[in-house]
Amino acid sequence: MSQALVSHHVAALREAQLISVRAEGRSNIYELCCEQLAAPVQWLAHLTTLTPEGQKVCCTAPVVDDQVSVSGAER
């Protein structure tokens, strides 16, 4: 993803008040503003640490009562 595209998406998230930004030295620190997004984002970040075998187990999507259920996801 290009820097311009990332900046465009970050601006949209800031405008929607889903993230906040604060300067820290020469860096910007971005934080989620919406508590409801914190758990799903943490779960998605966790997926990046799984081995391919763990991803196969974690990310299967059986259908239960016409809803997709993903192991580890909170409803």
Low-confidence ranges of the chain (pLDDT < 70): 54-75
Residue 70 forms part of a structural domain: no
Q: What is the pLDDT of residue 43?
A: 84
Whether 74 is in a domain gets the answer no
Q: What is the pLDDT of residue 63?
A: 56
Look at residue 66 in the predicted model and tell me its pLDDT.
Answer: 55
User: Given this model, what pLDDT does residue 28 score?
Assistant: 93
| Sign for the pseudo-dihedral over CA of 29, 46, 74, 10 | positive
| pLDDT given at position 75 | 43
Q: What range defines the domain where residue 56 resides?
A: 3-65
Domain count, the chain: 1
Residue 72 lies in a domain: no
With respect to residue 75, please indicate whether it lies within any of the assigned structural domains: no
Distances (CA, A) of 27 to 7, 15, 17, 37, 38: 14, 20, 20, 23, 22
